[in-house]
Chain A
Amino acid sequence: MTNSPRTPGIAPARLPQEAYARNFADVEPPFDAHEAMVAADRCYFCHDAPCITACPTAIDIPLFIRQIQTGQPEGAAKTIFDQNILGGMCARVCPTEVLCEEACVREMAEGKPVEIGRLQRYATDTLMARGIHPYERAESTGKRIAVVGAGPAGLACAHRLAMRGHDVVLMDAREKAGGLNEYGIAAYKTVDDFAEAEVNWLLQIGGIELRTGQRLGRELSLEALEAEFDAVFLGLGLAGVNALRSEGEEHHHVRDAVDFIAGLRQAGDLSTIAVGRDVVVIGGGMTAVDAAVQSKLLGAENVTIVYRRGQDRMSASTHEQDHAASKGVRIVTGAAPVRIVGGDHLEAVEFAYTEEGPEGLKPTGETFRIKADQVFKAIGQRLEGAPEDIHIEGGKIAVTGPGRTTRPGVWAGGDCATGGDDLTVTAVAEGRDAAEDIHATLTGAATLAAE
């Protein structure tokens, strides 16, 4: 080994080889059977349980926990998958501390909720490890549906449509399906290629043809899809990255955090990933935390997250912020980047302190510099490559009800569509609900229901 955390500039292999496996191991190891029993026993089986209401996919949490408690984790998994076919990934990446576990009455009672996320993982892992796919397709409807985007929304939509007897062509611009599950989440949250395994498991239902390398506006056009298919679902995600609008932003060592994370996720050998000695991540969300923590785990000596507003406005949860802090990442709030300093080698980022005023965020006039040889931008993504002739609202595809766009026969869901938080679990709910609406529309059930 020639490099270390103190090697100047951007360098690979800062750590001994064995450190990578350790650093990128499962961030929260799974429950064993006994731990799951003990954890399950804490559930009070609440009436009209608040945790169900707090779950965007409305999983019947008390029921699945009771099924674990009675020794039927596979039955528990079925309860989960009935509502959320990506229950395995959601068990890993959901910010449960602001969803089901925040609503858990034991959180209110004693500040220690039932560990719903880990129990969900225990159930779903148990079933998936047995290679079981617990759903069968309904009799064929003869309808064909195009699902564009194989992220969480598209996968959930495709699965539900296939289950209802429709034939689905699932398309994605990238080489692999999975969307952010495959490309956008920290590696230690989804070890052992779980995202890929989950997609393969999901596709076992049959009736879903996966076509990769298909991008809307490049290989695909909405008009052609509409002509060929009975319905179209758009789960495009947010492919564009917001600009810093700071001087020097175009420096080649200023990168998009999402690209860094995607590269890391696809790397076979993590020691080949080059990372700076002094890394600055600009942003306040989950992507910023994932980029910062992984930089640190790759061996960066100093990693700082800088967010322009106050800590309470960061969209990364407290749990995520604490995790970052525990890995040695420093979080600076109330500072916005002014310019990138340096020549060929990046030297620092200059920030201006900010304050919230009636007219919004204003610089106080005071500035400071943070040493940096690598900068990651994580200040949000935006919709890119949306088809024309579809109404956009606030930078997203406008939808009403279960994902109906302004264009008849075209539905949308997930991060690209209006409504809901940009979370995996929300995307799953939207994809699933759009699928049910597409099904109802194509089979006339909607008209019947409305009458």
Chain B
Amino acid sequence: MADLTTEFVGIKSPNPFWLASAPPTDKEYNVRRAFEAGWGGVVWKTLGEAGPPIVNVNGPRYGVVYGADRRVLGINNIELITDRPLEVNLREIKAVKRDYPDRAMVVSLMVPCEEEAWKAILPLVEETGADGVELNFGCPHGMSERGMGSAVGQVPDYIEMVTRWCKQNTRMPVIVKLTPNITDIRYPARAAKAGGADAVSLINTVNSITSVNLDAMCPEPMIDGKGTHGGYCGPAVKPMALNMVAEIARDPETAGLPISGIGGVTTWRDAAEFLALGAGNVQVCTAAMTYGFKVVQEMAAGLSNWMDEKGYASVGAVSGRAVPNVTDWQHLNLNYVTKARIDQDSCIKCGRCYAACEDTSHQAIAMSPDRVFTVIDAECVACNLCIDVCPVEDCITMERLAAGAIDPRTGQVVPAEHGDWTTHPNNPGALKAAE
């Protein structure tokens, strides 16, 4: 059995699956249920400063995007940080941590962008026995209008400043949660590192409108005839999250900075992908909100089975394993030439590859009157669209042309050596071979 225990910025947990700071971690009752179900840790729903708590809307606070059969692909929310009194949350955090000492207990925080506010709350959290704090610089709705959440996360200088305040005022590890609602995730990550962050966690939710009610002419979720943008999460945001995690992992300035991967983790495979791209653990919300806390059991069992199959002894052995293979476009091998191949035995003759190629690509698939589909090598640029739209797995595959073969499309011999854009003759800035 692979060892799933993880140590992330010094915080131990029996597995790398944490519940993200979100509605499921707002109360003692929920968190106890989560730990009973097997979650390795939680990031407690964001606490605000002492005093009268914030209020939430009393109409719907979630919007949804469905796939087939009402499968939840994405949820957005307009819920704010915890609307329960600070002292109640602190008391509950302490009680739960006392009863589950082996689980990770991280507390998410969001207070005004003033040093005094952070100075005030950090000792209160420390007193609960929590393992660490996560700075919520991510929420794109509501709190950002008040100068918090993503309003901080969108300004690297603020990130660095607040992170530094926190590091100066607590012994606990500080994780900085980043918003994806920026143009280049590396800048906020560098700022967090500069401020002394122990780790970054990402992504927070994506600013979004999930749908429009066409009768009321109003965005959903609709509150008395009005709607607002909310934070989008779930399987739909995973590709953006993976890229941002990878960008931070391979950026020379932030390489080695621990990353907690968040964004649409629904199965063990999603988790493995985040780990491979450099995450040290993952945080989950939408999958739990959709299916309940029990989903962690599939995630943990699946990850463990896969690690056994592949011979990875620990989560650490997986973490970052794919990072060296994430590169810039300019370094991709242009001498790697492939052609699509259609397996006639598994083809079900739907013709989707033909329609896609003929209408939107390179006219590289021929269709016979009896619906036999074949690739025209002289036209195929190996774009992969036929494979993407084929409903049958492995019916269409890409076959590499051997070095020395002639590519029927270009008439050129396939070179054996690597050749990329940096040295390509069409590149005005190509590096000239030493003369």
A contact set with B: CB distance below 8 Å: 34, 37-38, 41, 44-50, 105-106, 108-109
List 10 A-B pairs, minimum CB-CB distance, nearest first.
A47-B351, A47-B355, A41-B68, A109-B348, A46-B350, A105-B348, A105-B350, A44-B350, A108-B348, A38-B69
Query: Shortest distance in angstroms between A72's beta carbon and chain B's nearest beta carbon?
Result: 13
Q: Is the CB of A38 within 8 A of B349?
A: no
Q: What's the nearest-Cβ distance from chain B to residue A105, in Å?
A: 4
Q: A48-B351, A50-B371 are in contact. List 13 more A-B contacts (CB 8 A).
A: A41-B69, A44-B391, A45-B352, A47-B352, A47-B355, A47-B367, A48-B367, A105-B348, A105-B349, A105-B350, A108-B348, A109-B391, A109-B392
Residue of B nearest to A46 (CB): B350
Is there a chain A Cβ closer than 8 Å to B354's Cβ?
Answer: yes
- Which single member of B70, B349, B354, B367 contacts A108 (CB below 8 Å)? B349
Q: Which residue of B lies closest to A103 (CB)?
A: B349
Chain A residue, CB-CB nearest to B346: A109
Type the 1/0 row for B387-415, where 1 means its CB is closer than 8 Å to any CB of A. Answer: 00001100000000000000000000000
Complex Cα spacing A106 to B367, Å: 19
Whether the Cβ atoms of B69 and A106 lie closer than 8 Å is: no
Q: Which residue of B lies closest to A107 (CB)?
A: B348
Interface string of B334-369 (1 = CB under 8 A from A): 000000000000001111101100000000000100
Interface-central residue, A44, A45, A47, A108, by most chain B CB under 10 Å: A47
Measured CB to CB, the closest approach of chain B to A424, in angstroms, equals 28
Contact B69 A46 (CB under 8 A): no
- Would you call B348 and A106 a contact (CB within 8 A)? yes
Q: List 22 A-B contacts (CB under 8 A).
A: A34-B70, A37-B68, A37-B69, A38-B69, A44-B352, A44-B391, A46-B349, A46-B351, A46-B352, A47-B354, A47-B355, A48-B367, A48-B371, A49-B351, A50-B349, A50-B371, A105-B349, A105-B350, A106-B348, A108-B349, A109-B348, A109-B391
User: Once the chains bind, are A38 and B68 in contact (CB under 8 Å)?
Assistant: yes
Closest to B359 in A: A47
Contact residues in A for B70 (Cβ distance below 8 Å)? 34
CA distance A38 to B68 in the complex (A): 7
Closest partner residue, chain B, to A53 (CB atom):
B371
CB distance from B374 to the nearest CB of A (A): 14
Q: Which residues of B contact A38 (CB under 8 A)?
A: 68-69
With a cutoff of 8 Å between Cβ atoms, the chain B residues found around residue A49 in the complex are: 351
Least CB distance, A8 to chain B, in whole angstroms: 53
Complex: A37 Cα to B70 Cα, angstroms: 9
Chain A residues within an 8 Å CB radius of B350: 44, 46-47, 105
Q: From residue A101, how far is it (CB to closest CB) to chain B in Å?
A: 14
Taking CB atoms, residues of chain B closer than 8 Å to A46 are 349-352
The distance from the CB of B67 to the nearest CB of chain A, in whole angstroms, is: 9
Minimal Cβ-Cβ distance residue in A for B389:
A44
Residues in B neighbouring A48, C-beta threshold 8 A: 351, 367, 371
How far, in angstroms, from A44 to B354 measured CA to CA in the complex?
A: 13
CA distance A115 to B69 in the complex (A): 15
CA distance A41 to B69 in the complex (A): 8
The CA of A47 and the CA of B365, in the complex, are separated in Å by 13
CB distance from B72 to the nearest CB of A (A): 15
Chain B residues whose CB sits within 8 angstroms of the CB of A34 once the complex forms:
70
A50 to B349, CA, bound (A): 9
Binary per-residue interface labels of chain B (170-208) against chain A in the complex, 1 for a CB within 8 Å, 0 otherwise: 000000000000000000000000000000000000000
Residues of B within 8 A of A37 (CB): 68-69
- Which chain A positions have C-beta within 8 A of B367? 47-48
| Smallest beta-carbon distance B343→chain A, Å | 13
Most central of A37, A105, A108 by chain B CB within 10 Å: A105
Q: Which residues of B contact A47 (CB under 8 A)?
A: 350-352, 354-355, 367
Chain B residue with Cβ nearest A109: B348
Docked CA distance A34–B68 (Å): 10
Interface centre among B351, B355, B367 (most CB of A within 10 A): B351
Q: Who on chain B is nearest to A110 by CB?
A: B348
Q: What residues on B are CB-neighbors of A50 within 8 Å?
A: 349, 371
Smallest Cβ-Cβ distance to A43: which chain B residue: B350
Question: Which residues of A lie under 8 Å from residue B351 when comparing CB positions?
Answer: 46-49
How far, in angstroms, from A188 to B367 measured CA to CA in the complex? 43
| Cα-based distance from A106 to B349 in the complex (angstroms) | 10
B6 → A minimal CB distance (Å): 39
Mask, B275-306, CB within 8 Å of A = 1, is 00000000000000000000000000000000
In the assembly, what is the distance between CA of A90 and CA of B354, in Å? Answer: 31
CA of A49 to CA of B349 in the docked complex: distance in angstroms? 9
Nearest A residue to B71, CB-CB: A41
CB-CB < 8 A to A41: which residues of B? 68-69
Q: How far is the CB of A430 from chain B (nearest CB, A)?
A: 25
Measured CA separation A47–B348 after assembly (Å): 12
Q: How far is the CA of A47 from the CA of B368 in the complex (A)?
A: 13
- Bound: A49/B70 CA distance, A: 26
- Residues of chain A within 8 A (CB-CB) of B352 are 44-47
Q: Mark B366-388, 1 if CB is under 8 A from A, else 0.
A: 01000100000000000000000
Q: How far is the CB of A73 from chain B (nearest CB, A)?
A: 17
Contacts of A109 in B (CB 8 A): 348, 391-392
A195 to B158, CA, bound (A): 73
Distance A109 CA – B347 CA, assembled complex (angstroms): 8
| Cα(A44)–Cα(B390), bound, Å | 9
Docked CA distance A106–B352 (Å): 13
Give complex CA distance A190, B69 in Å: 29
**Please, how many angstroms separate the alpha-carbon atoms of A49 and B391 in the complex?**
15
**Bound complex: CA of A333 vs CA of B41, how far in Å?**
69
The distance from the CB of A383 to the nearest CB of chain B, in whole angstroms, is 36
A34 to chain B: closest residue by CB: B70
Distance to closest chain B CB from A119 (angstroms): 14
Per-position binary interface string of chain B over residues 64-82, scored 1 when its CB falls under 8 Å from any chain A CB and 0 otherwise: 0000111000000000000
**For the complex, what is the distance from the CA of A37 to the CA of B68, rounded to whole Å?**
8
Q: Which residue on chain A has the smallest CB distance to residue B358? A: A47
> Closest Cβ of chain B: how far from A65's Cβ, in Å?
13
Residues of A contacting B392 in the complex (Cβ-Cβ under 8 angstroms): 109
B363 to chain A minimum Cβ distance, whole angstroms, is 13
Q: Tell me, in angstroms, the Cα distance from A109 to B371 when the chains sit together.
A: 15
With the chains together, A50 CA to B352 CA distance in Å?
A: 12
Chain A residues closer than 8 Å to B349, beta-carbon distance: 46, 50, 105, 108
Q: List residues of B (20-67) whose CB comes within 8 Å of A's CBs.
A: none
A37 to B367 CA separation, bound complex (whole angstroms): 31
Contact partners of A44 in chain B: CB under 8 A: 350, 352, 391
